[in-house]
Amino acid sequence: MKIAQSTWSPFQSPEVREICAHLTPAEHAQLIADARQRGTDIGRWIAIPFGLTVGLLYWSWQVGLVLLALFIIYFAVSGYPRIRAMRRRSMALLCETEWARSRGYAPERLRLMTFPWST
């Protein structure tokens, strides 16, 4: 049985929602594949090191605190820039769709998310 794969997100902007509503099957598959890869990368680069750090806090709080400080530095130097690059890639993929190109969407002007408390 094939499970339907959604592009829905709780804080998705109206612009992204509109683009996703007009995806071709190939574009939809490309976005889903990119999202899977980003999830794998986030797990590998951020979640696993953070989980190991928290786990070591239980083993030895001194070692854990040192590793937590190193993780914060690692995230600031490596993780955060990677997340920003992934976000830019997502915006570029959305703006490269046939429907978005025909409407003049550009990555630098596309909002991926809107939050209820920020309006």
Residue 26 lies in a domain: no
SS3 (DSSP) at 3: coil
The pair of three-digit structure tokens given for residue 10, joined into one six-digit string:
């709780």
* CA 99 to mean position of chain CA atoms: 22
pTM attached to this predicted model: 0.78
**Chain mean pLDDT for the chain:** 88
Residue 66, H or E segment: helix 61-74
Residue 25 lies inside a defined structural domain of this protein: no
Single out the residue of 31, 37, 19 nearest to residue 100, CA to CA. Answer: 19
Q: Please, what sign has the CA dihedral across residues 16, 113, 7, 84?
A: positive
Residue 10 lies in a domain: no
Query: What domain count does the chain have?
Result: 1
The pLDDT score that the predictor gives to residue 37 is: 93
Range of the domain at 92: 35-108
Amino acid 118: pLDDT:
58
Segment 13-28, tens digit of pLDDT? 999 999 999 999 999 9
Q: Is 100 part of any domain?
A: yes
In a domain, 7, yes or no: no
The answer to the question of residue 51 being in a domain is: yes
